[in-house]
A and B are shown apart, each in its own frame.
Chain A
Amino acid sequence: MSVLMNKDSRVLIQGFGGAGQREAKTSIAYGTQVVAGVTPGRGGQTIEGVPIYNTVVEAVEQHQANVSLIFVPAPFAADAILEAERAGVPLIICITEGIPVLDMVKVKRVMKNSKSRLIGPNCPGVISVADRSRAGIMPVDVYLEGNVGVISRSGTLVYEAVDQLSRLGIGQSGSLGVGGDPIIGTTQREALELFEADPDTAAIVLIGEIGGTAEQEAAEYIKQMKKPVVVFIGGATAPPGRRMGHAGAIISGAAGTASAKQAALRAAGATIVENPADIGSTMQAVLKQHGLA
């Protein structure tokens, strides 16, 4: 996943509280450059060896940060994203869950005309395994270096898929969690475009969910992709009209069902996994079939 994060990635963390500090430690131990933290009012301190600033623009000026990882609580998270955008951070990754949708409407409008890319919110972040470059909350022990890219709306299903692959000896180029909210910065389709262009990636696992039409939009792109894509859609057993945790995971209308999404993806040439326990073994078969394993 070196197209998004690599050895030159310099990570800044907005919201350097408990979770931010813990994940900073994990990333530093993994080998990632965590160059600064931003917590308004805490500027000048050093926490866990990381210098803290009051504003993003200061942290960017001082440390040439080019990735911002956001842990700021939901009521203030849209503000944090917009601060990073205004400071010109090229890659903004927002972990925060529970941001009001109308806040994201404004953010999305700004990102549309921005040079920055937003990933999330409500996502596990991005990891590039070969470069040991991590901006997120994923457990690092389950990853194994290799050529499969993992994209998911859900964080924990990224880990699940990676674990299934690693147990079979299939390594990963990296993973990208797009986020479980209805309005997100980088869509599944855009994430597929990134992995299709990524030299380290040979095949892709895409994990979608019930609700919305993002999987159908991804299917349109899969039609023209060269790399094979294995897809699992979570929530096949979920009842319609009930929100399954993720604000975006609610079946309203026929397009939102798992079966409608599976049909669109299958028609586009993707390999569908019905049982979530079979993600790894299905990718193993697909890699063999394409002479990639």
Chain B
Amino acid sequence: MKLHEYQAKELLAQFGVPVPKGRVARTPEEAEAITIELGGSSVIKAQAHTGARGKAGGVKVAKTPEEAKAHAAAILGMQLVTHQTGPAGLPVSAVLVEELVDIEREIYLSVAIDNTPGMPVIIASAQGGMDIEEVAANSPDAIFKQHVDPACGFQPFQGRELAFAIGLDGALLGPATQLIGNLVRAFMESDGAIAEINPVVVTKDGRLLAADAKFSIDDNAEYRQAALVGQRDRSQEDDRELDAHDHGIQNYVALDGDIGCLVNGAGLAMATMDGIKFAGGEPANFLDIGTANNPEAIAAALRLIGSDPKVKAVLVNIFGGLARTDVIAEGVILAKREGMISQPTVVRLSGTNVELGNKILDEATDVDLIRADGFADGARKVVAASRGEK
């Protein structure tokens, strides 16, 4: 789950990471008032779950409170379209109004999980304000890392090594070490997935400030991060994905094609998308039913898939392990009988209780289904069905 920049900065500030003065505004008047408090000038930043907001017109500098009001009026209510959002963009219902700072230098700093050693890793670079992937590709020597050993936690020497490596020495050494340690603490205590400050700015008056902030929370830890989960902004998420989430289906991702898929297991779900593509089709979604082991949940998932107007045919591809094919079969029949899904539906069942599952489908003679034997057959049949072929 992602936080907005203003939420991330509030969180980081609670852990002692210095952030620019400012607050969130939801009306042009509020933006004006905050700008007056800040001394008459400000930067107005659209709050949406995407990077590259500046290029898309979502970040503006205001020299006067009137200008702040005008900029906020232009940004609030806009659909912010960047290369990360897709053509529909994301709605903007809040702006962050912050003090203007005189920047001397920009630093990159983040904490994420490094899978191989299985530890959080702090990443720092003197080349801040840029796409870190590009920096990593073009000048890997400019990137410095320190792993946080969970046995002893972050140690100040790690902060010092990073600070010296990226040129934060002299009077900046102490504050830099502290900032890094506080960022790690925020990450650890908030079940962070990624905490990124790009850039940390060194101001002309010698301060360090988190000028931007991205923070996302480990989805698996939402149950113990209630305060942060309460800040979830549903307007930034896909309606159908939210609907799935509300039905207990954690693993639905909307895609652009016209073939819906209902699969058990994330790996098979990905492979099903790949198989559909190989058969000449385009998947409309990724959906792993996970542990949804009752017919009602399966039917709800099918209704969700079928409600996508792009979907012309649906493939149910099940290889039961923990998931039981008889339960899936009942769910498919329930969805068909209740009219929850109208598109041609191809069903492939294998694995746990497959004989019972197939018997349930066989006996439902009133329900029109296309049966498939094996993976390749299922992919081929659903692509044909999506083209109106038999």
Contacts and interface: CB of A to CB of B under 8 A. Distances in A.
Interface residues of B, number: 60
Contact of A241 (B84, B115, B250, B272): B84
A53 interface: no
A167 B319 CA distance: 15
A237 B322 contact: no
A244 B319 contact: no
A142 B350 contact: yes
A220 B354 CA distance: 39
A154 B220 contact: no
Interface string A187-215: 10000000000000000000101101110
Contacts of A210: 270
B193 A101 contact: yes
A276 B350 contact: no
Greatest chain B CB density within 10 A among A97, A139, A164, A241 is at A139
Nearest to A163: B350
Contacts of B374: 163-164, 167, 277
Contacts of B352: 139
Interface residues of A, number: 66
A238 B270 contact: yes
B277 A237 contact: yes
B322 A137 contact: yes
A235 interface: yes
Contact of A160 (B113, B286, B319): B319
Interface string A254-291: 10000000000000000000111100000000000000
Contacts of A213: 115-116
Given A102-B188, A210-B270, A276-B271, A157 B265 contact: yes
Nearest to A125: B321
A265 to B, nearest CB: 16
A159 B218 contact: no
B226 interface: no
A160 B269 CA distance: 11
Contacts of B113: 101, 105, 182-183
B88 interface: no
Contacts of B273: 235, 237-238
30 contacts: A19-B322, A75-B224, A97-B290, A100-B191, A100-B220, A100-B224, A101-B193, A102-B150, A102-B188, A108-B118, A109-B149, A109-B151, A124-B321, A142-B350, A154-B266, A154-B267, A156-B267, A159-B321, A163-B319, A163-B350, A164-B375, A180-B267, A237-B277, A239-B253, A243-B253, A244-B286, A246-B266, A275-B275, A277-B275, A277-B374
Given A245-B265, A275-B275, 17 more contacts: A101-B191, A102-B218, A157-B265, A164-B374, A180-B266, A182-B115, A183-B113, A234-B271, A235-B273, A235-B274, A241-B84, A244-B253, A245-B251, A245-B290, A246-B266, A246-B267, A277-B278
